[in-house]
Structure 1
Amino acid sequence: MPTQTSDQRWAAQAAAGDENAFRELYRAHVRPVYWIAQGILASPADAEDVTQETFVVAWRKLPRLELQGESILPWLATICRFQAANRLRQRRRDRANTVDTLDETIPDTVSVEEQVITADLAARIADEVGTLSELDREVFRLCATEGYAYQTAAEELGVSHAVVRNRLSRVRTQLRGAVKEVRDA
């Protein structure tokens, strides 16, 4: 019998109402979701709001989720894109009601192509992270996802500062390659 990934386990527990499991999902994926929102909205404040809205929607929908694959990130990315599109529509309505002309810098829609690229990108990153060694995944989780300083991550993992710095650099290079593959495709 195959073992469940952390996402699968946390999603099942959160779907059953376990708030701690949902907190783990949040911690694991809040930064990638924020990056997706920021890429669409180009506003840190709106991206933060949309990130929070994404996880509120995810909490409500988790009991009906049938997780496809090991990572919940592609599902969260889809929710995030819909929330961001809603935010863009709200911006346009707000501006139309307060200004005579519509700001041309706000896109009318989120392009389907961009949504597919974002979903593919999230899936590719999740796949690539899945290929990392356990130590590399932990270094990535602590430093890139949870924002730990190198020294704090090193202490948590029982390795040196240099090990964390070097491994994270290698992981980032690997992930940049994966991102470039999706964008070039």
Structure 2
Amino acid sequence: MSEKNDETEIWERARADSGEAFADLFRRHRDAVFRRASALVDRAHDAEDATAVAFFELWRKRKSVLLVDGTVLPWLLVTVGNTARNQRRGGVRYRRLLAALPRSEARDAEHEAVTSMETEILGIRLREALSGLDPKDAALLTLTALDGLTVADAAPLVGLKAGAARTRLMRARRRLQQDLGPKPSHVTWFLSEGERA
């Protein structure tokens, strides 16, 4: 049996929910997928995350993914490329968010400690507020604000039409604003990201 036919047979078993067959595909392709991710992101752990997401998506979409020339590798390389680019855009937005935090000219240890605690508390409050939302609404907020997707691009990823996603996103932002109380500028930025249609 040729290598190509061998992978075709393995993929058919993986599509039929064989974890063992899927693990075999992972072993075959993880290094190539990781190398592709590493070329697109700055840190090794980001490449590891992108690789994990690509294989997770392959498993999740296994019923619809088709082989190219008898292998899933091309599909994995495209997926890890998209994931890594989204991670990179999200990282840029995250750094922009951090840069937007209020800063004083003279920083002493006490001010640093207070700022650090305030940021940590805000993060906890934001996580709690997000966890109170419907999972689709929280995913929409994250995909538009941090991953940089438009509402139209994010909508099908959470199983919604663009119009419904816009409405849900607007309501989710209002709910977060109520839950978080007075809005510091960095929370306002998070809630206003993703306005693009």
TM-score (ref. length: structure 2): 0.48
- Whether 1:7 and 2:14 are equivalent positions in the alignment is no
Asked if structure 1 preserves the Cα contact closer than 8 Å seen for 2:58 and 2:65, the reply is no
Identity of aligned residues (%): 28
Distance in 2, matches of 1:41 and 1:10, equals: 30
Once the two structures are superposed, residues 100-149 of structure 1 have per-residue CA deviations (whole angstroms, 9 ceiling, x without a partner) of 49xxxxxxx9xxxxxxxxxxxxxxxxxxxxxxxxxxxxxxxxxxxxxxxx
Distance in 2, matches of 1:91 and 1:82, equals: 14
Which position in structure 2 is the counterpart of 1:38? 38
Equivalent residue of 1:41, what SS?
coil
CA gap of 1:88–1:8, structure 2 versus 1, over 3 A, is: same
The structure, 1 or 2, with the larger RCO (C-alpha pairs under 8 Å, 6+ apart) is: 1
Distance in 1, matches of 2:3 and 2:26, equals: 21
Q: Which residue identity does 2:80 align to in structure 1?
A: C
For 1:106-121, list aligned pairs within 5 A. Answer: none
Q: Name structure 2 gaps, 5 residues minimum.
A: 102-147, 149-197
- Whether 1:79 and 2:82 are equivalent positions in the alignment is no
Count, aligned residues: 101
- Whether 1:23 and 2:23 are equivalent positions in the alignment is yes
Once the two structures are superposed, residues 1-50 of structure 1 have per-residue CA deviations (whole angstroms, 9 ceiling, x without a partner) of x9962221111111110110000000000000000000011311100111
Runs of 4+ more than 3 Å apart: none
Distance in 2, matches of 1:32 and 1:3, equals: 17
TM-score (ref. length: structure 1): 0.51
Could you tell which deviates more after superposition, 4-13 or 30-39?
A: 4-13
Distance in 1, matches of 2:57 and 2:88, equals: 18
Equivalent residue of 2:39, what SS?
helix
- The CA RMSD measured in Å over matched residues stands at 2.2
CA gap of 1:31–1:4, structure 2 versus 1, over 3 A, is: closer
Asked if structure 1 preserves the Cα contact closer than 8 Å seen for 2:36 and 2:81, the reply is yes
Q: Name structure 1 gaps, 5 residues minimum.
A: 102-108, 110-185
Which position in structure 2 is the counterpart of 1:104? none
